[in-house]
Amino acid sequence: MSGHFIVNTLTGVVPDTADAMQTAVLEDALKQVGFIPNMYANMVNVPGVLSTYLHGYGAFRQHSDFSPAEQEVVFLAISRENDCKYCTAAHSMLADRYSKVPTPVLAAIRAGTPLPDAKLAALFAFTQELVRNAGKVPKAVADAFLAAGYTDRDALQVVLAAAVKTLSNYTNHLFQTAVDEAFAAYAVS
């Protein structure tokens, strides 16, 4: 037994078992990613959870000023800080295959060692401290974030990403979500 609460009366919802509200949200998810990840099947037990996640995730991806690589660094920082193995695997795959996160940076994030890129290191540290301290980022970390070229608006974008990842990270903890085959090569222990 893991020592923390795990849902035991809910299972992943698939299109064949979904009610009308769940079906609508799953159809939106399918359009966005092309398959229903295990995490989405769990989240849609409460359609508002998955719907809110998809909306916030899309807004962050489409409207933040962060590059795709910076977006993955933010998502990985949050997922690592929250110890979400599912999201760490998923975002590691995205970082490696699609978002062009430099290989040494991704390796450092996954190993928990200092990032070899100063700007991405400042972004990673700011994001982790924001999550770790419930939005109260130490001044020195915030100063380094701003000195690296990020802005107050970027800080608020990190808040959006943290909200989105809180939905997914916490759901994955409650369900002990199994890593999908698409992300399996990036699984962490």
Single-letter amino acid, residue 81: E
d(CA 184, CA 165): 19
Assign 126 a pLDDT band (cuts: 50, 70, 90): very high
pTM: 0.96
CB atoms within 10 A of CB 92: 24
Which residues have a Cβ under 8 Å from the Cβ of 72 and sit 6 or more positions away?
A: 91, 94, 95, 99, 101
Q: What pLDDT, on the 0 to 100 scale, is given for residue 172?
A: 98
pLDDT digits (tens, 9 = 90+) for 91-125: 999 999 999 999 999 999 999 999 999 999 999 99
Residue ranges of alpha helices (H) inside 4-102 are: 20-33, 38-43, 47-63, 68-81, 85-97
Which residues have a Cβ under 8 Å from the Cβ of 178 and sit 6 or more positions away?
A: 38, 86
| Residue 134 pLDDT > 60 | yes
Q: What pLDDT, on the 0 to 100 scale, is given for residue 3?
A: 85
Give the pLDDT mean for 161-177.
Answer: 98
CB atoms within 10 A of CB 104: 12
pLDDT digits (tens, 9 = 90+) for 36-82: 999 999 999 999 999 999 999 999 999 999 999 999 999 999 999 99
Q: What pLDDT, on the 0 to 100 scale, is given for residue 161?
A: 98
d(CA 63, CA 146): 20
For the chain, state the CA radius of gyration. 17
| Residue 2 pLDDT > 90 | no
Of the options 3.40.50.970, 3.20.20.150, 1.20.1290.10, 2.170.270.10, the CATH number for the domain spanning 66-186: 1.20.1290.10
